[in-house]
Amino acid sequence: MAIEPPAGDAWYLRADDYWVPAEQAGEYPVRQGDLFKGVDLGDGEWFGHLLIHPTCELSKRSVERVQVARVHPLSALPDSKQAAAVTAGFEEKNLQVRPAFAHTFFLAPVPDATIEAFRKPMFVDLRAVALHDRTAYSSPERIGALTHDARVSLIRRELYFRYRLSLPFEEVRRLEAGRIGNDPTFAGPRPEWAEGG
């Protein structure tokens, strides 16, 4: 099933386009954008964390530790205005619409999560990044696997946060299709837009 890109220049997909359905998730190996439950990385227990290490690195034996980013429930934000800005990725200020909370990435609820807390809206804090042992990550431990297009949205948001590169969704998807096409270790179903790679 092809997922439509975000409407206009929106940052995020529709909520039901975020996650690979649980009955299909087993076909997808652990990869960038996978959601895992809380872990203590030395600064207290995290609510959850998202694997942000590049997918193409995960199969390398030399990679012993992987990069993860902290996930919070959307309800942890102090007010509804902030929550709305994180959910949209934009805010209006001084009669201009501009990216809001660029260090965040909105996560729609995982509809079939076995843990109730993950069936509610969340966000990733791209400033709160840590390293964790690669051996801790396996498909059975995963709360949710982002769809290919949701992962493109994540990459797009990271590019904006880290480098202030404001690229259209279609451009990031085109770049990711090229990467997938040149990745000899790519495993699992390929997105329709990268099948020719």
Residue 122 has pLDDT above 60, yes or no: yes
54 within domain boundaries: yes
Cα 74-76-80 angle, rounded to 5 deg: 65
* Amino acid identity for residue 138 in this structure: S
DSSP of 21-45, one letter per residue? -HHHHTTSPS-TT-EEE--BSSSSB
pLDDT computed for residue 55 by the predictor: 83
Residue-wise pLDDT for 152-180, tens only, equals 999 999 999 999 999 999 999 999 999 99
Q: In this structure, are residues 188 and 180 in contact, taking their beta carbons and an 8 Å threshold? A: no
Question: Residue range 46-65: average pLDDT?
Answer: 91
**Looking only at Cα atoms, what is the longest distance across the chain?**
51
pLDDT computed for residue 9 by the predictor: 76
1 within domain boundaries: no
5 within domain boundaries: no
Domain encompassing residue 73: 25-194
Residue 2 has pLDDT above 70, yes or no: no
6 within domain boundaries: no
Residue 84 neighbours by CB under 8 Å, 6+ apart = none
Count how many domains the chain has: 1
Beta bridge partners of 49: 36, 70
140 within domain boundaries: yes
Question: What CATH number did the domain enclosing 98 receive?
Answer: 2.30.30.110
Residue 3 has pLDDT above 70, yes or no: no
11 within domain boundaries: no
31 within domain boundaries: yes
Helix axes 169-181, 148-163, angle to 10 degrees: 110
Confidence of residue 196 (pLDDT cuts 50, 70, 90): low
Cα dihedral 189, 36, 169, 84 sign = positive
The model carries a pTM of 0.92
CA distances in angstroms from 167 to 59, 97, 135, 161, listed in the order given: 28, 16, 34, 12
Q: In this structure, are residues 89 and 99 in contact, taking their beta carbons and an 8 Å threshold? A: yes
Residue 67 CA to chain centroid, in angstroms? 13
Least confident range from 3-17, 32-46, 108-122: namely: 3-17
Question: Residue range 6-23: average pLDDT?
Answer: 89
Question: Residue range 138-143: average pLDDT?
Answer: 94
129 within domain boundaries: yes
